[in-house]
Chain A
């Protein structure tokens, strides 16, 4: 006779702390519940994860591979390490690469002081960027009546793409190109202000971790973002769909 299979509680260790988990909980969620900090950039509560920034990588004992904690689910007996020397080095390198990829000039940025990238660099102890800057030439798009898009500050986290598609349902944004030529575009790569699909809701602006999307008319360091609304919106929506 087969044993009846039910959702069981898994027990595992994160940084030596015993935690209990449902099998649909990610390592990142469990860590946050237990007050353990794991750096993230592409993760955004309320939309699906893509595992692209690689900041949240963690080690799992017994495996050489590193796992993105935002997309790795709890398993029985797992021993997770979130903050080894090796991980710290890689995380700093990820930030190095992000800073070098575009033109991040914090001193003149609307988000100076409120930018997740800048904050993360401070948190992880980055004092200088270890790779040469690539200095791409990218034009700012200020065609939208309320908002502006400055690709020089974009880290291609695709939070804007996902929130616009999954929460607002407009799918104004997407990514074009490939590799380092990737860019965020609206509709057929036309000026944002001409994009018919945009509802002007501004959710993308609120979730953008940097000053790449911002409200017009803000001066340096004035742009503060709020995205606490997301999990709430998501749960409302899911409730309604049932």
Chain B
């Protein structure tokens, strides 16, 4: 069976060798919204017009990372010297094809020597942009499913878990819980039936890492889930995908079908006795369903409301059975770890945060897009080196990480290395990987209000502090942004923050005050400036005095 994988890989690589040139067109969400489909079609036509289809092929691939400069087209002649073109239009197709035997088209060229490409280290995204996401053969040709075969034919389940523990991998869904420990708990939980859930409900409004992985390299997630299933003793998995991601769902469906046909999913995988099935469940527009107990309720067909933990899903999860819930990116890192060993992974990153992390760069930054960097890279490097600095020539004021559960980090702290502990110390969190850059024109009070509005409308309504507290906090922040707030409002706001954070039932409520608390911590003066000014006998005084006490 192992041989069959190699056969496919060999055949696929052989097929690729027929072509001296491959033109890759990014067809992931970012580029697709700037009409990369039309560009792909135009390129296909031109290849035919020029009569070069014998040695040149056009492929749609996943995300190449630099979404802001889309549509992106990469020409692979003899690897690794590929030529990357940016802002490609339909009219450019002729020139690109004509240039294949000549010099690259300079006017479209995007240098791949820039830090944006050289400073990245791709593990979870290793295939993104290099394979056709709808072809299992191309995935296999790049060592796909070899980790699964290695696990189920050469390793005991406990060996698999040992590798994950050794890798030091921590959950990429936000919490940073050690993945190996979670797997161990589920493996040890009593019960014949266990489930694996892939959390693809990416709810942070401003993050698109998971979407990109699902759209660019869906098999990697399936392989990670199957390995997890083998390790903890589960034979059924669910991918819970955001309903807003139709392309990701379509690609996942295709991938599941292909994997089943290739016997990499289903019964008797790869000729062994291991069975593993995967089904898709669609979210329906509720941020709170990213919370694991709410997600489970949603898969069970109920209102997506969280319940108190413990018991944790690892013991009492889907339909009361032990359930392993991991994020898309976490599961995407599994196959490389099994292929190369946990120690290999543990060499990357910092003492407590191992490996690489994918970030979605957006906001006022030149290179918006997806990046993957080793843990411990400083914020400065991410913003100014990789990100190419602030767009519009402005000054960077702060970055926001962790979305509605996270906080703002002011520019003074940009020499901080990005890892779980350092970000927490600054009052933010790693979160799932959204990183929004804000320039001088952004008002921090407004940002806090934006996130509070988000939490207020996304609160499930089960527990009192979050259901009602977020409304009051939002109302107060709204007063601030209209310059109508008084010092008493500030006092009340801080009281409510403390109460909601400590008494809410689930993570949504517990972290909803974070954007307020972090902006209060670093930009308190902006709040004060946003208060009403009142006159007393001696002229206008701000209420700053009272606040200071």
A touches B in complex, CB < 8 A? yes
Q: Determine if B271 is an interface residue (Cβ-Cβ < 8 Å).
A: no
Q: Determine if A163 is an interface residue (Cβ-Cβ < 8 Å).
A: no
Q: How far is the CA of A71 from the CA of B467 in the complex (A)?
A: 20
Q: How far is the CA of A90 from the CA of B496 in the complex (A)?
A: 10
A130-B492, A180-B456, A180-B461 known; A101-B503 Cβ under 8 A: no
A90-B503, A178-B286, A179-B456 known; A53-B463 Cβ under 8 A: yes
Of B262-270, B350-358, B468-476, the one touching chain A: B468-476
CB pair A179–B503 under 8 Å, yes or no, is: no
Q: Determine if A98 is an interface residue (Cβ-Cβ < 8 Å).
A: yes
Q: How far is the CA of A101 from the CA of B462 in the complex (A)?
A: 14
CB pair B468–A180 under 8 Å, yes or no, is: yes
Q: Determine if A182 is an interface residue (Cβ-Cβ < 8 Å).
A: yes
CB pair B463–A179 under 8 Å, yes or no, is: no
| Shortest beta-carbon distance from B201 to chain A in Å | 16
Q: Which residues of chain B (480-507) have a CB below 8 Å from chain A? A: 492, 495-496, 499, 502-505
CB pair B499–A179 under 8 Å, yes or no, is: no
Q: Determine if B457 is an interface residue (Cβ-Cβ < 8 Å).
A: yes
**CB contact between A179 and one of B303, B470, B475 (< 8 Å): that residue:** B470
Q: Mark B42-74, 1 if CB is under 8 A from A, else 0.
A: 000000000000000000000000000000000
Can you name 12 A-B pairs with beta carbons within 8 Å? A52-B462, A90-B499, A93-B499, A97-B469, A97-B472, A100-B472, A101-B464, A131-B492, A179-B460, A179-B467, A180-B467, A180-B468
On chain A, the residues within 8 Å of B456 by CB distance are 179-180
**CB contact between A101 and one of B457, B458, B468 (< 8 Å): that residue:** B468
On chain A, the residues within 8 Å of B492 by CB distance are 130-131
- Looking at chain B's contact residues, is the secondary structure mostly helix, strand, loop, or mixed? helix
CB pair A132–B463 under 8 Å, yes or no, is: no
Q: Determine if B465 is an interface residue (Cβ-Cβ < 8 Å).
A: yes
A97-B472, A132-B475, A180-B456 known; A156-B461 Cβ under 8 A: yes
Q: Determine if B307 is an interface residue (Cβ-Cβ < 8 Å).
A: yes
CB pair B505–A54 under 8 Å, yes or no, is: yes
- Chain A minimum-CB-distance residue to B303: A175
Which of B457, B463, B475 has the largest count of A CB atoms less than 10 A from its CB? B463
**CB contact between B461 and one of A53, A54, A179 (< 8 Å): that residue:** A179
Q: Determine if B308 is an interface residue (Cβ-Cβ < 8 Å).
A: yes
CB pair A97–B468 under 8 Å, yes or no, is: yes
CB pair B468–A182 under 8 Å, yes or no, is: no
CB pair A98–B472 under 8 Å, yes or no, is: no
A94-B465, A179-B459 known; A51-B502 Cβ under 8 A: no
On chain A, the residues within 8 Å of B465 by CB distance are 54, 93-94, 97
Q: Mark B358-396, 1 if CB is under 8 A from A, else 0.
A: 000000000000000000000000000000000000000
Q: How many residues of B contact A (CB 8 A)?
A: 29
Closest 10 CB pairs of A and B: A182-B461, A97-B468, A179-B459, A51-B308, A93-B499, A179-B461, A101-B468, A54-B503, A52-B463, A52-B462
CB pair A98–B308 under 8 Å, yes or no, is: no
Question: Tally of A-B residue pairs with Cβ under 8 A?
Answer: 89
CB pair B503–A57 under 8 Å, yes or no, is: yes
CB pair B462–A50 under 8 Å, yes or no, is: yes
- Chain B minimum-CB-distance residue to A92: B499
| Shortest beta-carbon distance from B479 to chain A in Å | 10
Q: How far is the CA of A71 from the CA of B316 in the complex (A)?
A: 14
Known: A52-B463, A134-B471, A180-B470. 20 other contacts (CB 8 A): A50-B462, A51-B463, A52-B505, A53-B463, A53-B464, A54-B504, A68-B308, A90-B499, A93-B499, A94-B464, A97-B465, A97-B469, A97-B472, A98-B464, A98-B468, A130-B492, A156-B461, A175-B461, A178-B461, A180-B471
On chain B, the residues within 8 Å of A175 by CB distance are 303, 461
CB pair A182–B464 under 8 Å, yes or no, is: no
Q: Determine if A181 is an interface residue (Cβ-Cβ < 8 Å).
A: yes
Q: How far is the CA of A66 from the CA of B509 in the complex (A)?
A: 14
On chain B, the residues within 8 Å of A101 by CB distance are 464, 467-468
CB pair A54–B463 under 8 Å, yes or no, is: yes
- Chain A minimum-CB-distance residue to B311: A73
Residues of A within 8 A of B (CB): 50-54, 57, 66, 68, 71-72, 89-90, 93-94, 97-98, 100-101, 130-132, 134, 155-156, 175, 177-182
On chain A, the residues within 8 Å of B460 by CB distance are 178-179
Q: How far is the CA of A2 from the CA of B304 in the complex (A)?
A: 41
| Shortest beta-carbon distance from B377 to chain A in Å | 30
On chain A, the residues within 8 Å of B303 by CB distance are 175
Q: Mark B307-336, 1 if CB is under 8 A from A, else 0.
A: 110000000000000000000000000000
**CB contact between A54 and one of B464, B475, B495 (< 8 Å): that residue:** B464
CB pair A177–B495 under 8 Å, yes or no, is: no
Q: How far is the CA of A181 from the CA of B467 in the complex (A)?
A: 9
- Chain B minimum-CB-distance residue to A86: B502
Q: How far is the CA of A130 from the CA of B470 in the complex (A)?
A: 15
On chain B, the residues within 8 Å of A177 by CB distance are 461
CB pair A179–B458 under 8 Å, yes or no, is: yes
Q: How far is the CA of A175 from the CA of B503 in the complex (A)?
A: 22
CB pair B467–A182 under 8 Å, yes or no, is: yes
CB pair B461–A100 under 8 Å, yes or no, is: no
Q: How far is the CA of A57 from the CA of B463 in the complex (A)?
A: 12
CB pair B503–A94 under 8 Å, yes or no, is: yes
Which of B467, B469, B470, B505 has the largest count of A CB atoms less than 10 A from its CB? B467
On chain B, the residues within 8 Å of A97 by CB distance are 464-465, 468-469, 472
| Shortest beta-carbon distance from A20 to chain B in Å | 21
- Chain B minimum-CB-distance residue to A179: B459
CB pair A51–B505 under 8 Å, yes or no, is: yes
On chain B, the residues within 8 Å of A94 by CB distance are 464-465, 503
Q: How far is the CA of A33 from the CA of B469 in the complex (A)?
A: 33
Q: How far is the CA of A61 from the CA of B505 in the complex (A)?
A: 19
CB pair A93–B495 under 8 Å, yes or no, is: yes
On chain B, the residues within 8 Å of A178 by CB distance are 286, 457-461
| Shortest beta-carbon distance from B110 to chain A in Å | 44
Q: How far is the CA of A68 from the CA of B457 in the complex (A)?
A: 25
A175-B303, A182-B461 known; A66-B503 Cβ under 8 A: yes
A51-B307, A54-B463, A180-B467 known; A90-B502 Cβ under 8 A: yes
CB pair A50–B503 under 8 Å, yes or no, is: no
CB pair A52–B470 under 8 Å, yes or no, is: no
Which of A53, A54, A156 has the largest count of B CB atoms less than 10 A from its CB? A54
Q: Which residues of chain B (280-314) have a CB below 8 Å from chain A? A: 286, 303, 307-308
Q: How far is the CA of A132 from the CA of B479 in the complex (A)?
A: 13
On chain B, the residues within 8 Å of A50 by CB distance are 307, 462
